[in-house]
Amino acid sequence: MPAKNEFEIKDLISIFLKRNNLKGAVLSKEAENAWYKITGDLIVKLTLKVMVKDAVMYVYLASPALKQELSFKHDELVKRINDYVSEKAIRKIVFR
Kind of pairing, strands 92-95 and 47-53? unpaired
- With beta carbons less than 8 A apart as the criterion, state whether 48 and 67 touch: no
User: What's the pLDDT band for 21 if we cut at 50, 70, 90?
Assistant: confident
CA distances for 57 relative to 44, 81, 96, angstroms: 15, 10, 11
Reply yes or no on whether the pLDDT at 14 is more than 90.
no
Amino acid, single-letter form, for residue 29: K
- Predicted TM-score (pTM) of the model is 0.81
CA distances for 51 relative to 10, 16, 25, 48, angstroms: 25, 24, 11, 10
Write down the mean pLDDT value for the chain: 90
Chain segment 51-77, per-residue pLDDT in tens: 999 999 999 999 999 999 999 999 999
Helix/strand/coil for 6: coil
User: What's the pLDDT band for 32 if we cut at 50, 70, 90?
Assistant: very high
Q: In terms of Cα–Cα distance, which of 85, 88, 80 is closest to 55?
A: 88
